[in-house]
Structure 1
Amino acid sequence: MKLSLDWLSEYVDLPEPAEELIDVLPMLGIEVEEGDETPSASLDKVVVGKVLEKNQHPEADRLSVCSVEVGEQEPAQIVCGATNFNPGDRVPVALPGAKLPGGFKIKKSKLRGVESEGMMCSAKELELGEDDAGLFILSGEPEIGRKITEVVSKSTTLELEITANRGDCLSHIGVAREVSAYYQTPICLPEVKDSAAPANSARGNSLLSSVEVQSSQCPYYTAWSVKEVKIAPSPDWLIERIESIGLRPINNVVDITNFVLHETGQPLHAFDLKKIAGAAIIVREAKEGEKIITLDDQERALTTKMMVIADAEKPLVVAGIMGSVDAEVDDNTTDIVLESAWFHPGNVRATARSLGLHTDSSKRFSRDVDPEGVEFAARRAIDLIIEITGGSATNEFISIGKPPRTSRTIEIETAYVEDRCGFEVSTENLTASWKRLGFDVEGTSPIRVTVPSYRSEVDRPIDLVEEFLRIRGTSDLQGSKFLSPSLQRDNQPSYDLCDLATDNLTGQGYQEVCNYSLRSANELICWFPELPSDQLALGNPLTADHTHVRPSLLPGLVEVLAHNQRNLTELNRVFEIGRISDPVLGEMQS
């Protein structure tokens, strides 16, 4: 997961310098794989340019010859192969002498006979994002000729490796909780307004005709609607947030759902209402032979074990993973339906693995999102949609089912913690540590700890001990002698005999071998045809060559000698001491 420190600082005060978190987070159980600072310090000769003219290259159909204003000097003539720009757009321009990330140096050159005095750049070429489909069109009207490093804010991004049991940390707010607990500083969560309607309120101006959940893999589903939205590029601050974690801005509504996902950890999906057949939403298992074209333009065959969100005619979303092109929000969208739900982690995980389709949404659903965060994330998104797109919320909030998990209370004694930790702990210290983690704590004997719903992995007393140690740290623990009662017993006579035999044989140049104690049925028939082999057979053998318990060590020793001869190995003096099964006595013998 990518974590923007600038974005993180909206929710919690960070240390100075903020890069100190690179050392702190691993102590909290969050591995930091790498850190990137964008934009690169090597972009000194990359400036803001304004496209004045765009003309067809005389010798190449896919190239344009552009006149670009780059500051006080004369406009530069630049040959470009991108198509996503027009005269008037402001773009990053790498002037001759610039050295781009990766070591690529810009110089004057001729492209198909036309001189080019620089290069207009994409976001990926400057390591300012992942979009390489065209030029990086700068929003607003930044000053022409200004260094790009002064226009695009500088933010450190960390790549985190989140363990499977800590799905709550797959968001900026989730990591903010951990930082707040470690530094004992307050956390500031975004407030939601009353833009959206109460749950299952009157539906006088309903946009949806029906919402139905037919799958047991979705115990909690909510649908919201917003009308009269205006689809447009996102504002600068939202684009900056999206690009800081390596995502490509698409449009304001889609960017908001992505923003809220990385803010709260709750995946959302927005539908274009006009594209929902019958204005009906059905959560169901896919039908036999059903297919869907997902947003990556790939046709995917579904199975009946996969859950989908469908309308009256077709599937619209592979539940918890990715939507289809059939209901995506585009420039013509005016009314939208917003989905926020809790899908069973096992179903999403199995579907993602079967389809080979792993997304930001599936990563979170498969690790269990917070059921009580479903409504909060949707209301947060609707507030932003209304603020940015100019739309208005309807009085339609359909909620089906209920959160499958809420906060839970665990009782624990101080003595239990001390036994597991190996040192004395005060009840006050325990209480303070758990409160730092956002747990509610009452009582002293026993201590009653209420764990919030987003910490699904904390459900036993031993988990509370682990959380105490994690937040307390272990660097200052003092060493002590390990006191254990002395245990001594006499060896069995057979053990002494084996030791003596081993010493004697190895002293004579023999080498000890250790063969499998299980043999094949054919081998036993050849060696011991008179033995009742059925009494030596295993009830559930793993392989065809290991079906019976050995009645003798001899077949294994002969097999070793034969192997050595085939491989021209001189080792021909071997012995083995082991256990065999006596079918007559019905017991193991040494």
Structure 2
Amino acid sequence: MKISLSWLNDYVDLSGIATDEISRAITFLGLEVEEVINTGAPQFNNVVVGRILTRDKHPNADKLSLCTVDVGPAGGVKTIVCGAPNCDAGNLVPVALPGAILPGNFEIKQSKIRGQSSDGMMCSSKELALEGGDHAGLMILATPATETPPALGTPINDILPPGDIVFDIEVTPNRPDCLSHIGIARELSAWFKKPLRYPEIKYDPRNTRAPFAAFAARPDLLESIRVDAPEMCPLYTATVITGIKIGPSPEWMQRRLLAAGMRPISNIVDISNYVMLEYGQPTHAFDAKKIGGHKLIIRPANEGEKIITLDEKERALSSRMLVIADAEKPLVIAGVMGGENSGIDDTTTDIILEAASFARSLIRWTSRRLGLSSDSSYRYERGVDPHMLDEATRRAISLILELCGGQVAGATHKAGGDVPWQREVQVTASFVNERVGFEIPVAEQRAALEALELRITREDKNAPGGPAWTVAIPSWRNDLDRPIDLVEDVLRVYGTEKIPPAPVLAPTIIGNDAPIVLFNREVSAYLVGQGFNECVNYTLRSKREVETWVSQAAGAELALLNPFTEDQSHLRPTLVLGLLETLKLNQSRGVPTARLFETGRVFIERDGQNFECVSVAFIIAENDLDRAWLKREPADFYTTKRLVETLAGIGGIDIARQPVKAPGGSFFGWQEGQSAIIGDIAHGWTARLGLINLAMVRSLGIEGKVYGGTLSILSERVKTVSDRRRYQPITMHPAALRDIALVVDEKLPAGDAQKTLAKHARATLPKTFALEAANIFDVYQGKGLPEGKKSLAFSLVYRAPDRTLTDDEVNTAFAKLQEILAKETDWQIRK
């Protein structure tokens, strides 16, 4: 956003304040000055005003002219060769005489051009590094018809328009009010404690004095307006102005537009741009005679409908976009850019001036989808204050009547209405001081608020820690809705450079990290140790992905109200989607990474309720790109089951004893018969594992099978059970092995039998040696066993840290174990 200093002076007197001080103030007020530009002409030597006396054809070149030029009494008449098309006799032009140095360190010398002597050079605006004007020809200072031309020989710097100081400012997204000169002036007024002056608006619908009075309505130009999508356009106004004269805008306006980075076009277009840069409210003018049916309709575009915009490009529209149309055709892409078929041209005499309020998300989506950005869309995307619409419109009308002639025809057409604005925030002086960490005098606090036009409507001087203020928030400061926001504004205006120096005190409590941090750290370390690569993906996904891979209900429940882009419109319900996207990218680049994982937050929808969960997910892909002679054993369902069980154990969850369900319901993307769901998020956690749906994986362009697993836990249920690992010396003594086969009920989980066996085995041991492991190595069910029974075979590993065990002591412990099993369980020991 380029801000002109001379323009700012219309609203706040900054004369006498150094440019560096103004730039510093803007920075300390919370904005960023990227560049300070001086638009004035450089200081020239030997560049003067000259009059072209004669123009003859160059005898040796078809495209050159041989001119005689009078450069005043000191220089006399010079012969100059010129290639410009407008070097006509009688025109006054800048003349660079020998010895002059032009921008680019270009020195002018007496020379011969195609055999003819040339004693200097007549200059264009470009050659003098001046903005604006016709760079294709000479800069015309005056013509023979000019009443008071400058004197010949006058140094060019004496007649060039004064320069300007321009601040190129980066405005943060939460401050759309600063996308205007008035908005910046309001901030500087508060900083420098100088009064703020608003522009004079001469047009008032109640005024009955010409030329700022409203005349009879013209239904033959505009009969009515209609808004078919009020949620997209809550307010729309259109004013008919007749009898205008199209021409160039005044020089002062052109200079200001050029300083702000805009090219002057015509008086009507320039006024519209001028008011937008002044107030931040875009307006647009139609040629009234080009409006079909004398109606304006604000409606969603028809799918595939086309319009040629002012940049002369044809755009295909979507039904999610909004257009301003007449009874026959679309005229404008609402909030973004006007159409070529309704624009102002040299024959225009009657116009319709529109001003509107549009939904920010609509303009943002439309601009991104079309790849089309404009100064209007830039402001609408960030938020235009609808309560300034009427004032900005009347300002534009005033300038049009003053600079273009004409008259207002009837009352302004209006659809929709202003949403009543009333917002108040309560804050106390003590609250401000507590938050900033030092004492700001009460009078300074109040002065800072009032300087920003934050009006104090009620004051309680006797409030505890008082005084307490009720502050009315103006409509252009939609970013203020909490007491802490007012604290920031007080500190901005009071001056952050006044914060007293103090030692930094950071009292801390020594303790463990939060359970979620520990969980993420532990599972990441485990998966990295298993050969996985960690990924960090975007936390937002597209609607199509969520509905395809999860459910329609999740697509409805997890949608953002105001998404920035179409492909990031929903909260992610699973980490698997991002991992698959990463895998696809790796495969497309020939990268053989096949094991990926990620930790992060996900949102799971269940029966209309959303659960925010801590999650870890991994995928294992077939790796045909790896050309190693010895490949890793391919993954299968049991690979994912083992990994998920370990991850759940880190989080303090025992999956082994939980029932397993077939996939479906809350996540469609798993292959039937080769995947499973364990647990339910409504009870605190859920896991999914196995083969990811083959057809859906292929639809992404991923080659081969992909196995995966995901564990999601409610935040309050996360805990880590792993203690700090300590070094255990490796014993040099051999283990003693004993095998035992148990006949148990076929419904008993093998893991439960293993835990019970290990518990009883440890109970039989002396303190001199230990049971190191109880490993299952066989499961049998069939001939030779009673119906409803199965046989589980275990290998028991005994070991002593300091010696080799003897058969007697191991056999004694093993015999005691068999006695306890016979007494404490209904299991049978197979002989």
TM-score bracket relative to the smaller structure: 0.7 to 0.9
Supply the RMSD in Å over aligned alpha carbons: 3.8
Q: Say yes or no: does 1:239 pair with 2:269.
A: no
Equivalent residue, structure 2, for 1:26: 27
CA distance in 2, matches of 1:284, 1:56: 60
Q: Say yes or no: does 1:454 pair with 2:454.
A: no
Q: CA deviation at 1:237?
A: 1.9
Q: Say yes or no: does 1:208 pair with 2:222.
A: yes
Alignment of 1:315-326 (within 5 A): 315-326=330-341
Q: Say yes or no: does 1:38 pair with 2:53.
A: no
Alignment of 1:98-247 (within 5 A): 98-107=100-109, 118-129=120-131, 134-135=136-137, 136-138=139-141, 142-143=149-150, 144-150=152-158, 151-194=160-203, 196=205, 204-206=217-219, 207-216=221-230, 217-247=232-262
Residues 447 and 318 of structure 1: CA distance in aligned 2, closer, same or farther (over 3 Å) = same
Contact 2:455 2:473 in 1 (8 A): yes
Residues 414 and 326 of structure 1: CA distance in aligned 2, closer, same or farther (over 3 Å) = same
Q: Say yes or no: does 1:80 pair with 2:122.
A: no
Q: CA deviation at 1:343?
A: 1.5
Residues 389 and 112 of structure 1: CA distance in aligned 2, closer, same or farther (over 3 Å) = farther
- String of CA shifts for 1:52-96, please: whole Å, max 9, x gaps: 56667777776666665544432553423456x866555444444
SS of structure 1 residue aligned to 2:284:
strand
CA distance in 2, matches of 1:252, 1:491: 66
Letter in 2 for 1:39: G
Equivalent residue, structure 2, for 1:4: 4
Letter in 2 for 1:80: G
Letter in 1 for 2:333: V
Q: Say yes or no: does 1:523 pair with 2:539.
A: no
CA distance in 2, matches of 1:277, 1:169: 37
Equivalent residue, structure 1, for 2:661: none
Equivalent residue, structure 2, for 1:580: none
Contact 1:285 1:306 in 2 (8 A): yes
Letter in 2 for 1:292: I
Contact 1:320 1:365 in 2 (8 A): yes
Alignment of 1:232-271 (within 5 A): 232-271=247-286
SS of structure 1 residue aligned to 2:102:
coil
Residues 102 and 374 of structure 1: CA distance in aligned 2, closer, same or farther (over 3 Å) = farther
CA distance in 1, matches of 2:64, 2:707: 68
Letter in 2 for 1:18: A
CA distance in 2, matches of 1:491, 1:137: 75
CA distance in 2, matches of 1:334, 1:127: 36
- String of CA shifts for 1:190-212, please: whole Å, max 9, x gaps: 121135568xx996444312211
Residues 519 and 408 of structure 1: CA distance in aligned 2, closer, same or farther (over 3 Å) = closer
Contact 1:39 1:149 in 2 (8 A): no
Q: CA deviation at 1:412?
A: 2.3
Q: CA deviation at 1:289?
A: 1.9
Residues 373 and 101 of structure 1: CA distance in aligned 2, closer, same or farther (over 3 Å) = farther
- String of CA shifts for 1:234-260, please: whole Å, max 9, x gaps: 222222222222322222222211221
Taking structure 1 as the reference length, the TM-score comes to 0.79
Contact 1:287 1:302 in 2 (8 A): yes
Q: CA deviation at 1:127?
A: 3.5
SS of structure 2 residue aligned to 1:547:
strand
SS of structure 1 residue aligned to 2:361:
helix
Taking structure 2 as the reference length, the TM-score comes to 0.58
Q: Could you list the runs of 5+ residues in structure 2 that have no partner in the other structure?
A: 208-213, 515-528, 535-596, 598-616, 621-633, 646-655, 657-674, 679-685, 713-721, 723-749, 753-831
Letter in 2 for 1:257: S
CA distance in 1, matches of 2:333, 2:367: 9
Contact 2:203 2:397 in 1 (8 A): no
Alignment of 1:491-530 (within 5 A): 519-520=618-619, 523=635, 525=637
Contact 1:95 1:119 in 2 (8 A): yes
Equivalent residue, structure 2, for 1:503: none
Q: CA deviation at 1:49?
A: 4.6
Greater displacement, 260-269 / 119-128: 119-128
Greater displacement, 44-53 / 386-395: 44-53
SS of structure 1 residue aligned to 2:475:
coil
The one of the two structures with greater contact order (alpha-carbon pairs below 8 A, sep at least 6) is 1
Residues 88 and 296 of structure 1: CA distance in aligned 2, closer, same or farther (over 3 Å) = farther
SS of structure 2 residue aligned to 1:283:
strand
Equivalent residue, structure 1, for 2:290: 275
Q: Could you list the runs of 5+ residues in structure 1 that have no partner in the other structure?
A: 493-510, 554-582, 586-590
CA distance in 2, matches of 1:348, 1:87: 52
- String of CA shifts for 1:107-147, please: whole Å, max 9, x gaps: 45666676665555444443432566534455776514433
CA distance in 2, matches of 1:489, 1:244: 58
Residues 549 and 166 of structure 1: CA distance in aligned 2, closer, same or farther (over 3 Å) = closer
SS of structure 1 residue aligned to 2:411:
strand
Alignment of 1:63-78 (within 5 A): 69-72=70-73, 73-74=76-77, 76-78=79-81
Equivalent residue, structure 1, for 2:487: 465
Equivalent residue, structure 2, for 1:547: 709
Contact 1:32 1:161 in 2 (8 A): yes
Contact 2:448 2:493 in 1 (8 A): yes
Contact 2:79 2:117 in 1 (8 A): no
Give percent identity, aligned residues only.
Answer: 41
SS of structure 2 residue aligned to 1:261:
helix
Q: CA deviation at 1:299?
A: 2.1
Residues 395 and 512 of structure 1: CA distance in aligned 2, closer, same or farther (over 3 Å) = closer
